[in-house]
Structure 1
Amino acid sequence: MSFFNKIFASVGIGAAKVDTKLERDTVAPGEEIRGVVEIQGGNLEQQIDAIYLTLNTSYIVEKDDKRFHQTGQIDRFRLTEPFTIRPNERKQIPISFRLPSDTPLTIGRTKVWVATGLDVKNAVDPTDKDYLRVVPNQLMESVFNAVSDMGFRLREAECEQAPYRLRRRLPFIQEFEFVPISGAFRGRLDELELVFFPNSSSDMEIMMQVDRRARGLTGLLAEALEMDETNVRVTVSTADIPAMRQKIENVIRQFS
């Protein structure tokens, strides 16, 4: 084995490469993703300690009055035990994993990607990145349809660092901000914010922030003191889908 081949492989030149091929790139939270990981051997034999796959997104962090993006790991999977890849050898490893129910949707500027890496001893770890299009599952879609039918339009969707009181498994939450452009709540609300806390693909808790429009001097004072916002939680399941609009509307009316 050439001395220079060892040196080149240690910095990634002529070393093994990895490529993940997914059966589909559009998926909803809770659904299964299948595919294969292809490993192509380089110019020399290498010991692969593990193949790992991570599911990632980015979220906004505020610190010292500054906002910046930080990568957040949604999940991590170890795919293999240690093995050896010979020069120019090609291996294919079938993979399957279920997208966690709390995976953010790729709406607005939110991106979700799968990163696959080889853990190679004494060398640069080869990596591969594949972006996913994460769409609402049936339950989320019914909530979005209900809110839209009430005359709300989505203005913004962002992943932000979660306050400790709202933090669950992940360090961030995805917030959906709606504004009323028609219907009964136009002129009554400034905006409606929703955060989903899935318990499973068929059951979730929704935190709503109902921001009332200021009316008169009292309303202006309340708005200045941020007393015009009400946070309310409601649990919905797939059984609520046929009457989802009525259920959501009843909650909003109580606080608008």
Structure 2
Amino acid sequence: MSLFNKALASIGIGSAQVDTKLEKDKVTPGGEIRGVVHIKGGNTEQKVDEIYLGLNTTYLKESNDRKINVPVVIDRFRLNEPFTIGPGETKEIPFSFVLPLDVPISIGRTKIWVSTALDIKNAVDPSDKDYLHVIPNRLMDAVLNGVEDLGFRLREADCEQAPYRLRKRLPFIQEFEFVPVMGSFRGRLDELELVFFQVSENETEIYMQVDRRARGLGGFLSEALEMDESNIRFTVTSSDIPGLRQKLETIINKYS
């Protein structure tokens, strides 16, 4: 019977089960995630080589003139040394880890989740999947609100393959695309794109692309040659928050 149970466990029937419980699913970049991994033994004794948590998302990548969704592991955390779990035995393994600053926020089609996997030799590895709701931190939220206060509306936010000049640790960037719907920039700009590169919780570098609206023949020629776009890099800190709207307006005005 034991050999039969082992054979079933090797194809995932009657093997150990894993269930991860998070203390909370709402967190900001740089925030701490806490939880417990619950493991229940199957019908036979099994050796678990390791338990690891993966922080995951997907991003859009161009391939053969079309965009495809590509899964990516943002970070990975090993929780334990090898152990053996007996039939029907239960174990609880608490954990905590800090969310990296470059994790994207949960907006639009962007989903972030924690995957839990048990590494068991000669068997189908049990796994679990728990979604996170990653929200902007105080500084990032102030920038996004400041842009909206200037009359822009967020049209789209996606994780896309990073061009070489913007590539850092991860192969993608999260791009926020705004359009002017009111205020002084309506009629002057086509769109405004932002990318955040978090330096710390209190400092972020921003890559901004200002896309000016074509005006007359010269404007249309500039647009055709992609000369109607300006790319700007600047840094904001928490101390900028009280005057952030004015700082953003000054920068956008300079290139619009």
- Normalising by the residue count of structure 1, what TM-score does the alignment of the two structures yield? 0.99
Asked if residue 38 in structure 1 is aligned to residue 30 in structure 2, the reply is no
Task: Give the whole-Å Cα distance in 2 for the aligned partners of 1:226 and 1:109.
Answer: 28
Q: What's the secondary structure of 2:100's corresponding residue? A: coil
Divergent runs of 4+, >4 A: none
Tell me how far apart the structure 2 counterparts of residues 90 and 3 of structure 1 sit (CA, whole Å): 22
Q: What secondary structure sits across from 2:49 in the alignment?
A: strand
Structure 1 position 247 matched with structure 2 position 250: no
Taking the aligned partners of 1:98 and 1:183, their CA distance within structure 2 comes to 40
Displacement of 1:246 after TM fit? 1.1
Q: Which amino acid aligns with 1:53?
A: L
Give a deviation string over 1:228-251, Cα, whole Å, max 9, x none. 000000101111111111111111
Partner of 2:229: 229
The percentage of counterpart residues that share the same residue type is 67
Q: Give the match's secondary structure for 1:183.
A: coil
Q: Secondary structure at the match of 2:57?
A: strand
2:197 maps to 1:197: yes
How far apart, in 1, do the equivalents of 2:47 and 2:202 lie?
43
**Are 1:180 and 2:201 matched, yes or no?**
no
Aligned to 1:23: 23
SS of aligned partner of 2:74: strand
The residue type paired with residue 233 of structure 2 is: R
Coordinate RMSD, CA, aligned: 0.8
> Post-superposition shift, 1:40?
0.6
Q: Which amino acid aligns with 1:18?
A: V
Deviation at 1:149, TM superposition (A): 0.5
Distance 1:165 1:220 in 2: 27
Q: Superposed, which structure 2 residues align to 1:35-184 within 5 Å?
A: 35-184=35-184
In structure 1, give the amino acid aligned to 2:228: D
| d(CA) in 2 for partners of 1:201, 1:10 | 45
Distance in 2 between the 1:241 and 1:76 partners?
A: 33
Can you list the C-alpha shifts for 1:185-214, whole angstroms capped at 9, x where unaligned?
Answer: 011100000000111121110000000000
Q: By how many angstroms is 1:13 displaced?
A: 0.6
What secondary structure is seen at the aligned counterpart in 2 of 1:243? helix
Deviations 1:119-151 (A, max 9, x none): 001111110000111111001000011001000
The CA deviation at 1:42 is 0.6
Letter of the 2:195 partner, please give it. V
Deviation at 1:181, TM superposition (A): 0.4
User: For residues 217 and 172 of structure 1, what CA distance do their matches in structure 2 show?
Assistant: 36
Post-superposition Cα deviations, 1:13-57, rounded to whole Å, max 9, x if no partner, equal 100011100011111111101110001111111100000000000
Q: Deviations over 1:144-166 (max 9, x none)?
A: 11001000000000000111111
3-state SS of paired residue (2:68):
strand
Aligned residues: 256
